[in-house]
Structure 1
Amino acid sequence: MLQSKIEINVVKKITGSVHFWLPISGIVFFFLFLASLAFINTGSFRPLLDVHSIIREGFFLLVDMVTSMYFVYYSIQFFNKKFAANTLSIKRYAIEIPVVFLGGFALKSIFYFLFVKLIVIPEANTESLEMRLRNLLAMTHTYLMLTYVVITGFNSFKSMEQRKTQVSRLEKEYAQSRFEALQNQLNPHFLFNSLSILSSLVQINADIAEQFIEKLSKTYRYLLDQREKEWVPLKDEIAFLKNYIFLIQQRYADKLFLDINVHHDESIAYSIIPNTFLVIMEYIINKTSMSVLNPLHIVVSVSEKKALFSYTGQVKEISGNGVLQPFQQLENRYAQINKKIELYTNTNTLENFIVIPLIKNNNE
């Protein structure tokens, strides 16, 4: 088993190396070159059957092809480093193309000179020989340009993919920073509202005020502890929600009720983006009408890797961005991990649903 994994890793390392693919590409181009040259010179591919000639003359041409592959590849790599800030700039190609072609043509001319001196056998029909040599020189230059086009195309595709990945990473980092900034705004706002409620409770009911301070301490501790985290266990977010609902019920009393129908196994099986429940609750409370006669009843449950907030009430318009902006930022944060918060509203039955995606703790 271990030996097999080692062999697989060695194969991957070899096949992933440029020194594997450049010679392979040179060999492929070599056979294409021979086929093209044979057809141009004779109008058929029959010369390819002359194995003796191919072995005698072909080895030199094969070295030429592989050398050209390396020359073009490392020339492009040189310009990638020189124009690292913008690898696809027009200025880069305006310099690179003449350099590669002139250098390549010089390299091809050297190989052509050596080929004529070392390989070519004089023939009685000098006109036919000269024609085939001209075709050879023209074809080697043509395949040099083809080599450049192929490697440049692959390099450009790779650069664009890397740029897409970089843009995606920057967008994710930007969304994360915006969400962290939002969290920093929520915490003082939440504290200010809580202290306003507490100042009233101290005068009315000292026992409730004492409980309120305890719940507020746990709630705010949670907000501070999780602010640097990307994910938190669902059970922690639910514990926060229980403390949070106690605090806000001191403000809304019989106008607001919350039921949490989440089993322990479900709460420990998933994770969620921190502060999600705080943003959702703020959104629902500010977006829905409530009164003693028609209280806002919110039910929280978990089903199929999703947390569901269901509530019945008349949806109202919200003025300003104080509530909408945090919710939109939360939507953007989930969008960055290719997940979506879903909203469902039935104007006839006044039934509303908010569905939040969860992350399975074992990454399923």
Structure 2
Amino acid sequence: MKIGELHIRWVGILIVSALAMINDGEGHMSDKPIWFHYFVSLCFTAVYWNGACSIIFFLRKKFPEIDRTKRRVLLSAAFIIVWMTVGGIPLKIIFNFVEVKDLLSLTEHVRYLPFNFIVASVVSLSYEAFYFFEKWKEQFTLNQQLKNQQIRTQYEVLQNQMSPHFLFNSLNTLTTIIPENADVAVSFTERLSEVYRYILQNKDRELVSLKEEIDFVKSYLFLLRMRYPDNLTVDFKIDDRYLGLTIPPLTLQMLAENAIKHNVVSKAKPLHIDIYIENGKSVVVKNNLQKKDSLDRSTKTGLENIRKRYRILGQKEIDVITSAANFIVAVPLIDLLEERDLKFT
């Protein structure tokens, strides 16, 4: 059986109750048997400790972020001091330690204030130290997962684009263009270099701006349109106000690649891709659906790769919609300023 906080807490309550009984010099129960003395000590310790834990766990839910540690510690210490002052009043009355009229005296409540302050500080800092370590360990694990996922993404994209098939088609297209139009050949070469440069420059980044990703996708699609000059059209409808929002790198490229990989692209059946913003919260990649009868060997990791990266980043799920006429994928846009404001609210 896994030992959790609850098990440790109650073992601690049993031990602290014994120590409190030994150090009780007030003689409230000098005429009582030792088992009763311990029972009373156990009741007070359990009430104070469990109440303090409830305060700490409530504040963790209210302020779970690491950057709110200072606020969480100060509030938990303050509330625990109050709890240590008033939480045991019912027990004091039950065991006849004080009379009800004595509770109106300020002296009765403040005489234990230094002790309560020490206890509250020790409890708050102890629990916070364990919590901080757990959050750090959790964040370290998430960072490792994201790093591994990024490596897989880089490998998949580089493998697809560095494959002999891709290079053959790119170089064959370039060879055809050079004698016909030198200017277009230069543009083709420049876009080809931009595709690889973008992948290499962003290999260690978790997020890129929408503008960076769109510029990259346009370079990537420029190469593909040289292969399908009249059969592939792409329409971007992105308002400038959304260009500063972010998404994981290569997201749109993978979605555009999937559309071309899984659908017929021909003069009889041209493929059209729309890339646009929906409700200011998502970027959508939509294509008319005309599935190939047979597909080349596929890793089938494109959409799942994107899903996993969004989950690791703690964002919403991507939406995938398939109708008789269209295939639509909507991926959330991430506002870094909004994320920062939420953390410090």
**So what's the TM-score if we normalise by structure 1?**
0.59
- 1:201 is aligned to 2:173: yes
CA distance change for structure 1 residues 340 and 64 in 2, over 3 Å: closer, same or farther?
A: closer
Contact 1:26 1:65 in 2 (8 A): no
Q: What corresponds to 2:141 in structure 1? A: 170
Does the residue aligned with 1:297 lie in a helix, a strand or coil? strand
- 1:221 is aligned to 2:197: yes
CA distance change for structure 1 residues 198 and 28 in 2, over 3 Å: closer, same or farther?
A: same
Q: Distance between the aligned counterparts of 1:63 and 1:361, measured in 2? A: 44
Q: What corresponds to 1:326 in structure 2? A: 302
Instruction: Determine which of 310, 317, 333 is the counterpart of 1:340.
Output: 317
- 1:357 is aligned to 2:318: no
Q: What corresponds to 2:226 in structure 1? A: 250
Q: What corresponds to 1:25 in structure 2? A: 83
Contact 1:299 1:309 in 2 (8 A): yes
- Which consecutive residues of structure 1, in runs of 5 or more, have no partner in the other structure? 1-10, 78-154
Contact 2:173 2:227 in 1 (8 A): no
Does the residue aligned with 2:205 lie in a helix, a strand or coil? coil
Q: Distance between the aligned counterparts of 2:113 and 2:101, measured in 1? A: 21
Contact 2:208 2:249 in 1 (8 A): yes
Q: Distance between the aligned counterparts of 2:71 and 2:105, measured in 1? A: 36
Q: Distance between the aligned counterparts of 1:26 and 1:33, measured in 2? A: 12
Q: Distance between the aligned counterparts of 1:341 and 1:53, measured in 2? A: 61
CA distance change for structure 1 residues 286 and 51 in 2, over 3 Å: closer, same or farther?
A: closer
Q: Distance between the aligned counterparts of 1:361 and 1:59, measured in 2? A: 48
Q: Distance between the aligned counterparts of 2:334 and 2:162, measured in 1? A: 29
CA distance change for structure 1 residues 198 and 66 in 2, over 3 Å: closer, same or farther?
A: closer
CA distance change for structure 1 residues 197 and 63 in 2, over 3 Å: closer, same or farther?
A: closer
* Aligned counterparts, 1:1-364, within 5 A: 15-16=74-75, 18=77, 20-38=78-96, 47-49=99-101, 62=112, 66=116, 69=119, 73=123, 77=126, 155=127, 163=134, 166-167=137-138, 170-171=141-142, 173-192=144-163, 193-206=165-178, 207=182, 208-263=184-239, 265-304=240-279, 305-316=281-292, 321-322=298-299, 324-336=300-312, 337-347=314-324, 350-360=325-335, 362-363=337-338
- In the alignment of these two chains, the number of paired residues is 263
C-alpha distance after superposition, 1:60-110 (max 9, x if no partner): 994898499579949x95xxxxxxxxxxxxxxxxxxxxxxxxxxxxxxxxx
Q: Percent identity?
A: 21
CA distance change for structure 1 residues 224 and 159 in 2, over 3 Å: closer, same or farther?
A: same
The offset of 1:279, in angstroms, is 0.9
Q: Which amino acid in 1 is paired with 2:145? A: Y
Q: Distance between the aligned counterparts of 1:262 and 1:363, measured in 2? A: 20
Q: Which amino acid in 2 is paired with 1:204? A: T
CA distance change for structure 1 residues 351 and 201 in 2, over 3 Å: closer, same or farther?
A: closer
Q: Distance between the aligned counterparts of 2:211 and 2:110, measured in 1? A: 71
- Which consecutive residues of structure 2, in runs of 5 or more, have no partner in the other structure? 1-69, 340-345
The higher radius of gyration belongs to 1
Contact 2:310 2:316 in 1 (8 A): yes
The offset of 1:277, in angstroms, is 1.2
Aligned-residue CA RMSD (Å): 4.0
Does the residue aligned with 2:95 lie in a helix, a strand or coil? helix
Q: Which amino acid in 2 is paired with 1:261? A: K
The offset of 1:338, in angstroms, is 2.0
**So what's the TM-score if we normalise by structure 2?**
0.62
